[in-house]
């Protein structure tokens, strides 16, 4: 899944195209979500640690060395 952000929704002063792209990985379990997040976030900027969220899913995000944001979202149904 890819999520995009319109320039008008961007919170920063300057809009950069790669800031508008996020990659979402949807693992089957919390254990798999933690494994994927640990592997991806090593050396990257963690923007939100893996945690249970108010909408019911287990979610975390990080940004890679190219400035692309990665989201890991495990559905509460899993």
For residue 3, being part of any structural domain is answered with: no
pLDDT tens-place string over residues 31-60: 999 999 999 999 999 999 999 999 999 999
Q: What are phi and psi of 49, to 5 degrees?
A: -65, 160
68: containing domain? 17-74
In a domain, 7, yes or no: no
**68 lies in a domain?**
yes
Tell me whether residue 65 is in a domain.
Answer: yes
Please report the pLDDT score of residue 18 as a whole number: 55
Pair of tokens at residue 44: 């990257």
5 pLDDT tier (thresholds 50, 70, 90): low
Q: For 76, which DSSP code?
A: T
Residue 70, in any domain of the structure: yes
Residue 58 in domain: yes
In the chain, the number of structural domains is: 1
Give per-residue pLDDT as tens, 8-34: 555 556 655 555 678 899 999 999 999
Report the pLDDT value the prediction gives residue 27, as an integer from 0 to 100: 96
Residue 54 belongs to a domain with what CATH number?
Answer: 3.10.180.10
């Amino acid at each position: 899944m890819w999520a995009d952000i319109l320039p008008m929704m961007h919170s920063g002063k300057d809009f950069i195209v790669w800031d508008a792209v996020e990659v979402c990985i949807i693992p089957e379990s919390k254990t798999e979500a933690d494994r994927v997040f640990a592997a991806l976030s090593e050396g990257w900027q963690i923007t939100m640690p893996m945690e249970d969220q108010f909408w019911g899913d287990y979610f975390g995000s990080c940004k890679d060395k190219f400035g692309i944001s990665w989201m890991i979202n495990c559905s509460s149904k899993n």
